[in-house]
């Protein structure tokens, strides 16, 4: 990034990814307008205030609701870039349309409309996901090169199957529909894989953090599903957002953020290598046939098991490395930093 300073609107500023974005922007000397749900809940954003106190940049927090039209309009008027990270991330929901799809789509539309109405905003960066690239691991079988790439779209998810993936896909489509209606502003989307790494917030309600804590606390001790993911460090995703915002090229691009692909036992082995004997980690897979019996108790449908268990995946990140000049943090380092922090915070006891 150049030495110039800019103003950024960051939605959902207290989130796992967004907190790192705010921190990195402030340390670079930029002005950050961060949205929060409730300014009275200081405990949820105090970590951002602590960063701002020591950083050369300035932070202004404001209340906003993704589902209320115009919540972001005033902030967008004074910002050069909009980074839209806020989106519901829930796995077990009763009504996917109301709890996931509608908030994701309407929230994205509200932020986009505010950004497009601003005379100052140059570019909008939307946090999408690899979930908008593919729906099920089995989709990889349609790829002749064996890799998911930026040109791919999730066509196999719905509100009834892989609802979160469907919500991210529909939200990105909504953003692209709106950007296509004008020619003055740019849009770039960032597509993280399974995000790992240390958390700035002193809370453990992130889905990623909860997943690793489940592993550390022995919930998969008897065995883990043979599920494959693309993993990435939260600090790299922050850097991707910022680089994608300020670079001159890249309009319309979709940048995949994945350092490496692997399964749950890969995570367990890397953790065990740095923390030998400290945690009841899984050492074997649950057979796929057995998963069909266990699936309903774990909230996994037979369709999900059939299309995802034991199916390896891989990602083409060449565009990300070329345009954003990313050198991803190794998965082993991400896990080591993450678990060390969890131990320090007594989250693993």
In the prediction, which pLDDT does 100 show?
Answer: 85
> Residue 11 falls within a domain, yes or no?
yes
C-alpha distances out from residue 234 to 3, 18, 124, 183, 335, Å: 24, 9, 20, 32, 11
59, 26 contact by CB (below 8 A): yes
> Residue 2 falls within a domain, yes or no?
no
> Residue 117 falls within a domain, yes or no?
yes
Q: If you average pLDDT over residues 292-312, what whole number do you get?
A: 92
| Nearest in space to 50 (alpha carbons), one of 30, 23, 25 | 23
Whether 175 has a pLDDT exceeding 70, the answer reads: yes
> Residue 70 falls within a domain, yes or no?
yes
Containing structural domain, residue 151: 7-344
Sheet holding 31-36, edge to edge: 58-63, 31-36, 7-11, 81-84, 123-127, 186-192, 254-257
**Can you state the percent helix, strand and coil of the chain, rounding each to 5?**
40, 15, 40
Structure tokens belonging to residue 38:
């409730």
Q: Report pLDDT digits (tens) over 99-108.
A: 789 989 999 9
C-alpha distances out from residue 37 to 43, 63, 67, 113, 222, Å: 12, 5, 11, 19, 40
Sheet holding 194-196, edge to edge: 194-196, 228-233, 260-263
Gap between the Cα atoms of 36 and 33, Å rounded: 10
Gap between the Cα atoms of 7 and 190, Å rounded: 20
Half-sphere exposure of residue 266, counting CA atoms within 13 Å on the CB side? 15
Which DSSP category does 280 fall into? -
- Residue whose token pair is 């490395």: 321
Count: domains in the chain: 1
In the prediction, which pLDDT does 96 show?
Answer: 78
Q: Report pLDDT digits (tens) over 238-275.
A: 999 999 999 999 999 999 999 999 999 999 999 999 99
> Residue 1 falls within a domain, yes or no?
no
> Residue 271 falls within a domain, yes or no?
yes
Q: Report pLDDT digits (tens) over 8-59.
A: 999 999 999 999 999 999 999 999 999 999 999 999 999 999 999 999 999 9
* CATH classification at residue 15: 3.40.50.720
> Residue 349 falls within a domain, yes or no?
no
């Amino acid at each position: 990034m150049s030495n110039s300073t800019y103003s950024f609107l960051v939605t959902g500023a207290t989130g796992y990814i967004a907190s790192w974005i705010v921190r990195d922007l402030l340390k670079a000397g930029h002005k950050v307008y961060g949205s929060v749900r409730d300014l009275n809940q200081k405990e949820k954003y105090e970590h951002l205030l602590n960063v701002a106190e020591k950083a050369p940049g300035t932070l202004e927090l404001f209340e906003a609701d993704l589902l209320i039209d115009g919540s972001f309009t005033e902030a967008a008027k004074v910002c050069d870039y909009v980074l839209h990270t806020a989106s519901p991330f829930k796995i077990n929901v009763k009504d996917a349309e109301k709890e996931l799809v509608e908030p994701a789509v309407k929230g994205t539309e509200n932020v986009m409309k505010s950004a497009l109405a601003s005379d100052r905003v140059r570019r909008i960066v939307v946090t999408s996901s690899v979930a908008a690239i593919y729906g099920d691991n089995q989709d990889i079988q349609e790829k002749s090169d064996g890799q998911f790439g930026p040109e791919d779209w999730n066509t196999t998810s719905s509100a009834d199957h892989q609802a979160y993936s469907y919500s991210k896909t529909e939200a990105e489509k909504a953003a692209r529909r709106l950007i296509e209606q004008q020619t003055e502003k740019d849009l770039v989307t960032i597509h993280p894989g399974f995000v790992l790494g240390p958390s700035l917030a002193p809370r453990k309600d992130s889905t990623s953090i909860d997943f690793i804590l489940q592993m550390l606390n022995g919930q998969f001790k008897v065995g883990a599903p043979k599920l494959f993911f693309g993993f990435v460090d939260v600090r790299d995703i922050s850097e991707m957002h910022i680089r994608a915002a300020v670079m001159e090229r890249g309009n319309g691009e979709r940048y995949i953020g994945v350092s490496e692909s692997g399964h749950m036992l890969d995570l367990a082995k890397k953790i065990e290598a740095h923390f030998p004997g400290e945690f009841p980690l899984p050492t074997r897979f649950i057979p796929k046939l057995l998963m069909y019996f266990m699936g309903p108790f774990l909230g996994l449908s037979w369709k999900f098991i059939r299309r995802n268990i034991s199916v390896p995946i891989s990602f083409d990140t060449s565009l990300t490395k070329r345009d954003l000049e990313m050198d991803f943090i190794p998965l082993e380092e991400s896990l080591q930093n993450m678990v060390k922090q969890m131990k320090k915070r007594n989250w693993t006891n």
